[in-house]
Each structure stands twice: as structure tokens, then as C-alpha cells.
């Protein structure tokens, strides 16, 4: 019983600190600090991407920059241990009735977890166009601002032959919206851009 309670508290506490840093913290700070607070490793460095994929991501960022968007790289590589934590948090949230998903992939199943010769070589990156994620829910206009950016990013990503999380499903099996993005006709994971060589579960 104590073990179950401890695990539950760890998941809740880990979730709070994890998303505080993952969603809103400056990459230069959260890459070091967050790995101390929660299990596993995470990076926002393009050097942690597969080289061929990294070239396309750089091109995507350049194109968005020319359109007036200052892109923020949230996540490139994520260790299996960190992935498992995010999965546990997502599952816990679902049991509480929280529809917003963070991941449906366990450790080793995400494109972010890919390694080559034991070194990070991610097939995925999460990109935002503004400093703060809309999970803050300050206003509908802020969420729409993000949605407008993601639609532009998605179009450019697809043009480069990349996969985009905005094309993921919008509704669950019961017909309920999976996320706040559904109202904008966007799939549940719009920051997510991935290499076509990676097969998502």
C-alpha cells in the first residue's frame, strides 16, 4: 500500500514539476534542472536529432522565421525513463477525466526516444511559436493564437515531407474531443513534428 501511495505521489509531483519546466521553462534552464527533479533525460538541442531529420527541421524553422514566427524548440530527445513518466501522468489524468493528452507512447515507443549507437538521434521535435503553452488557459484568444501558428507550421512541415501531430485524431472512441485543439480542427498533438521513417504507435 505504501509503495502504491509513494508511486502515486511521485507521479503527481513529477507531473507538476515536469510540465512546469517542459511547457514553460527556458530550454537553457529546464534541460539541466528538470532532469534533477524528475526521472530521465530530455533535450531541446537540434544536435540530439537524427542528422537528416535535423536538416529538415532547420529548414522548417527558417521558413517559419521568414513568416514572422520566432520558433521555440521545446523537446528533441527524450529518454525512455522520461517517456514512461509522461505516459504515467497521461494515464493518471485520463482516470481523473482529463481529456488533454501528453503522450500515448510508453518508453521506447516514441519517435523522441530514438537512439543510434547508444547516442540520442531523435526522429521527432516539439515546436511552439510563442513563449507559453496554451495549457495556462489565460484566454481563448491566446489559444487561437497558438492554433493559427500550428496550422502554418503543419502546412510547412508536410511540404517538407514531415509528419505533423496536428493530423492526429481529434476525437476519442466515444466521440469526445481529445484536446483543446479540436475546436480548431487540429489533432491532439500540434507541436509534434516527426520524421516519416518513424512509425508512431
Tens digit of each residue's pLDDT (9 = 90 or more) over 53-78:
999 999 999 999 999 998 999 999 99
CB atoms within 10 A of CB 197: 12
Residue 70 is placed in which grid cell? 520566432
Side-chain-side CA neighbours of 33 within 13 Å: the count stands at 13
Domain coordinates in residue numbering, the chain: 2-113+120-194
Which residues 6+ apart lie within 8 Å of 192 measured at CB?
124, 125, 126, 164, 165, 168
**Predicted confidence (pLDDT) at residue 32 exceeds the cutoff of 70:** no
Please report where in the chains the cell 526521472 appears, as a residue.
Answer: 39
DSSP state, residue 49: B
Q: Where are the strands (E) in 104-188, listed by range?
A: 115-116, 119-120, 124-128, 163-164
According to CATH, what is the number of the domain 2-113+120-194?
Answer: 3.30.1380.10
Tens digit of each residue's pLDDT (9 = 90 or more) over 73-99:
999 999 999 999 988 988 887 787 766
Confidence label for 24 from pLDDT (cuts 50, 70 and 90)? very low
Amino acid at each position: 500500500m505504501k509503495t502504491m501511495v509513494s508511486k502515486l505521489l511521485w507521479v503527481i509531483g513529477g507531473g507538476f514539476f515536469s510540465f512546469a519546466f517542459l511547457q514553460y521553462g527556458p530550454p537553457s534552464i529546464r534541460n539541466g534542472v528538470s532532469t534533477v527533479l524528475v526521472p530521465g533525460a530530455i533535450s531541446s538541442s537540434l544536435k540530439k536529432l537524427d542528422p537528416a531529420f535535423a536538416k529538415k527541421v532547420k529548414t522548417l524553422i527558417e521558413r517559419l522565421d521568414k513568416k514572422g514566427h520566432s520558433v521555440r524548440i521545446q523537446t528533441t530527445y527524450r529518454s525512455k525513463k522520461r517517456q514512461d513518466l509522461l505516459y504515467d501522468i497521461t494515464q493518471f489524468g485520463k482516470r481523473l477525466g482529463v481529456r488533454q493528452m501528453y503522450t500515448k507512447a510508453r518508453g521506447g515507443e516514441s519517435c523522441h526516444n530514438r537512439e543510434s549507437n547508444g547516442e540520442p538521434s531523435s526522429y521527432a521535435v516539439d515546436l511552439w511559436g510563442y513563449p507559453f503553452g496554451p495549457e495556462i488557459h489565460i484566454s481563448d484568444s491566446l489559444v487561437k493564437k497558438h492554433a493559427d501558428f500550428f496550422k502554418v507550421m503543419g502546412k510547412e512541415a508536410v511540404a517538407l515531407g514531415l509528419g505533423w501531430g496536428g493530423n492526429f485524431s481529434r476525437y476519442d472512441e466515444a466521440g469526445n474531443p481529445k484536446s483543446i485543439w479540436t475546436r480548431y480542427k487540429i489533432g491532439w498533438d500540434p507541436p509534434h513534428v516527426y520524421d516519416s521513417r518513424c512509425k508512431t504507435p
